[in-house]
Amino acid sequence: MFKGVWRHLGFDTVLEETSKIAKSESGEKAVLSIQPLVDSKEIFENVLLTFDFSRLLSERFFPLESFPNITAILEKAKVDGTVFSVREILDIRTVAVQSKIVKKFLNEIKDRFPRISAFSSSLSSFMELRELVDSSVDEAGEILDTASPNLKLIRRQKFTIADKIKKRLESLVRRNEDICPEQIITLRNGRYVVLARAGYKKRFQGIVHDKSSTGQMVYVEPAFVVEENNRLRDFEIEEQKEIKRILSEISRKIRENRFRLSVAFETLTELDKRYAMGYMSYKLGGVLPDISSYVDIKDARHPLLLLSGKKVVPVDVRLDKGLVITGPNTGGKTVILKTLGIFVLMFQSGFLIPATEGSKIRLFKNVMADIGDEQSIEQSLSTFSAHVKNISEILSKADKDTLILLDELGAGTDPVEGASLGVAILEYLKEKEAVAVVTTHFTPIKLYAYKEPFYDVASVLFDEKSFKPLYRLAYGIIGRSYAFVIAKRYGMPDKVIEKAKKLLSTEDKIAADIVASLEDEYKSLQDEKISVEKLKEQLEREKELINKEIKRLREKGVEEIHSYIADFREKSEKLLSDIHDEKLRNRVRELVHEARQKVENIEKRQTVSVRELIKPGMVVRLKGSGRKGTVLEVDKERGCTKIGIGSLKIDVKFSQIESVEALPEKIESSLNVNVNAKIPDRFFSELKLLGMRGDEALDAVEKYLDDARLTGFTRVKIVHGHGTGILKRLIRAYLKESPYVKSFRPGKIEEGGDGVTIVELK
């Protein structure tokens, strides 16, 4: 169902690049055979496994090495009596060794990565088989003396006879240097011979086994070593028989383990595939999106652009029912269309998607697309005819579970007829409730989508100075095609452009003006939004500085008063000891008491101020930790309040509150909710903050510690990396103030070193 659009969307290229990561030939084939799934449960389990592999590979090396395809060997093993070659035995050994290594590793990570470690049950250590092979064959394929006592004995006897023969022949060539000038002793036909001149018979008798290339020298076996050569040959035959017996024994052991070897090989292949998918997802910076009834992908980045090393501008893609994308013809619309399509195929195939956390994606039973030049030479079809044929097939299969991607709808024919056909196609897709994303330049199609509630509209933003798409979508507006602007940019004569503008019909001009005004209004609103955001940030910074200064001055004032009183008290005590007049002594004591009373009144006024100002819905800041919480209940009689921090509720006294802030009216009205802490559905004992900014990371740590407290964890790991060290210092400064934290320390080398912080919770 999906495969027809793989090439258009680039998913086949993603699979090809992923297959290059695999360690084995079988792993490569497994990656290339990946198909998108349609069952939501299967998809979720599939992508969770990739998520775990991505996390694992960000921390540790996965010890899988290259291993051969043993499918044919195992097929031969079905036949009793089969004796495998040394090469085949070594291939089996490689798989057995990999099975043992990976099984051990999976057992080590079972606490943190249970999904991955579950593969351990399908792997075996093959101890007996490995020991048998290792004691019999070396890595070069030679049969070892340790393979059997009989083989060792035979080889010892062979060596003794061969040594005796060589010594006798060495004596011969030394005595007959004129006949054997090169003094060469070698083997011919498995028998020891010497290289001698043709007239050797004058000195000794022998059997000629070969001649030199010139014919002047012969390889001759002297008669006095014939019997010993015969004995040596007999031992060689015995050696070969013993080797065959050893190989037969190893082959029998392989046949006994055939089923377990088959399961191990298939499991290693699956792990190789999963490793490649996990590494590719990690390489792309992939995240695990939520499965939803709509699409809301944040900061989407096309995977092929990332792999090419090009600069990629993230784009937010939102899709409910239908979406019509407009804007200039500079490539941005098609990239966004392909990005959405490839994300769906990747996710339903088990990959993470290169976006940011919090993204949502919808599942489809089919993805169909009409993208690019579809001209068919074989069928003698024009580009337009090929598009029409393709779209006709798409319309025949359109339903609510199909994602349909149509690029440049209505193009390739008469603009009036093309636009009318495009509107009719959108109307048909709406009736079928198909989820469609369409790009177009035709104004009638833009205006139809703008007024039709079933379709959302968006425009690709365009930089009029550089004439390049910004690859960002502005939702809720329809954009201009900038045909005249682009034509002028690329050298079209002004006379031609002016003539073209005059030839526009009145209706086209009105429509173009409407589109232009909508786009200009959107840009103006965006500029205002940016200005407001900057102003808001500036005000927040100034407010924070003012609050800090007020706090500093207040604390400094109280501290100075306390210090002064302590100093005054010390001096007064010394003075009192020297005063003998009881009346004067009492007067000094009264002065000390009055000073102490004034300090207490200052602190009381702060508490009274809190008591008067505080009410449910306000935000308060706690002394010491500086943490903010929302006021839930106020008990003025007891002088305390219940506040919500994250998902926890705690009681604090008014004296523990250092500042009170009123929430915006809109937020205050939404605070009447149930704040009882909910235990998280899933919690991992590790939090990764890599790539986060300071405030974002601190918010994540705060929520994470709340969840850890609720789920009962007493020890967690926070991964912040090394980088410039700023994030690490921020996190550790925060942990010092957290009421949840008992202690914390840098990680040990095996835990990740100073790039992580281990936190013990109360």
Mean of per-residue pLDDT scores for the chain: 80
**Residue 64 has what pLDDT?**
94
Pairwise pLDDT comparison (61 vs 496), residue with the higher score: 61
pLDDT at 671 over 60: no
Query: Do 686-761 and 290-503 fall under one CATH topology?
Result: no
**Residue 458 has what pLDDT?**
85
> Per-residue pLDDT averaged across 137-154, rounded?
91
How far from 729 is each of 624, 687, 697, 735, 746, CA to CA, in Å?
18, 16, 12, 10, 11
Nearby residues of 536 by Cβ (< 8 Å), 6 or more positions away: none
Strands (E), 223-258: none
Nearby residues of 98 by Cβ (< 8 Å), 6 or more positions away: 64, 65, 67, 268
According to DSSP, the β-strands at 468-475 and 322-326 are unpaired
At the topology level, CATH places domain 686-761 in: Ribosomal Protein S8; Chain: A, domain 1 (3.30.1370)
Q: List pLDDT tens digits, range 499-558.
A: 555 555 444 544 555 555 555 555 555 565 666 666 666 667 666 666 666 666 655 555
> Per-residue pLDDT averaged across 49-73, rounded?
93
pLDDT at 573 over 70: no
Ranked by mean pLDDT, which of 43-47, 367-371, 541-545 comes out on top?
43-47
CA nearest neighbour of 281 among 298, 303, 296, 297: 303
pLDDT at 83 over 90: yes
Q: Enter the DSSP assignment of 663.
A: P
At the topology level, CATH places domain 147-249 in: MutS, DNA mismatch repair protein; Chain A, domain 3 (1.10.1420)
pLDDT at 374 over 50: no
Output b/e per residue, 694-725; b: 16+ Cβ within 10 A.
eeebbebbbebbbbbbbeebeebbbbbbeeee
Confidence of residue 597 (pLDDT cuts 50, 70, 90): low
Confidence of residue 738 (pLDDT cuts 50, 70, 90): confident
Neighbours of 755 (CB within 10 A): 15
pLDDT at 56 over 70: yes
What interhelical angle do 40-57 and 258-283 show, nearest 10?
A: 80
Q: List pLDDT tens digits, range 257-270.
A: 999 999 999 999 99
Q: Name the strand (E) or helix (H) holding 89.
A: helix 86-108
**Residue 732 has what pLDDT?**
86
Pairwise pLDDT comparison (527 vs 430), residue with the higher score: 430
**Residue 676 has what pLDDT?**
43
For residue 295, what are the β-bridge partners?
319
Q: Tell which CATH architecture fits domain 290-503.
A: 3-Layer(aba) Sandwich (3.40)
For residue 318, what are the β-bridge partners?
296
pLDDT at 600 over 60: no
**Residue 739 has what pLDDT?**
76
Amino acid in position 180 = C
- The torsion angles phi and psi of 387, rounded to 5 degrees, stand at -65, -45
Q: List pLDDT tens digits, range 677-686.
A: 445 556 677 8
CA nearest neighbour of 112 among 752, 755, 556, 753: 752
How far from 638 is each of 38, 622, 635, 653, 658, CA to CA, in Å?
59, 18, 6, 8, 18
Q: Taking the domains of the chain in order of start, what are their residue ranges?
A: 3-126+257-281, 147-249, 290-503, 686-761
**Residue 198 has what pLDDT?**
83
Rounded Cα distance between 310 and 312, Å, is 6
> Per-residue pLDDT averaged across 418-445, rounded?
89
The percent of residues above 90 in pLDDT, for the chain, comes to: 41
Rounded Cα distance between 541 and 448, Å, is 46
**Residue 581 has what pLDDT?**
58
**Residue 160 has what pLDDT?**
94
**748 burial level (CB within 10 Å; 0-12, 13-18, 19+):** exposed
Confidence of residue 484 (pLDDT cuts 50, 70, 90): low
Confidence of residue 376 (pLDDT cuts 50, 70, 90): very low
**Residue 399 has what pLDDT?**
92
Answer yes or no: CATH 1.10.1420.10 is held by domain 3-126+257-281.
Answer: yes
**Residue 755 has what pLDDT?**
86
Rounded Cα distance between 11 and 437, Å, is 18
**Residue 149 has what pLDDT?**
93
> Per-residue pLDDT averaged across 52-60, rounded?
92
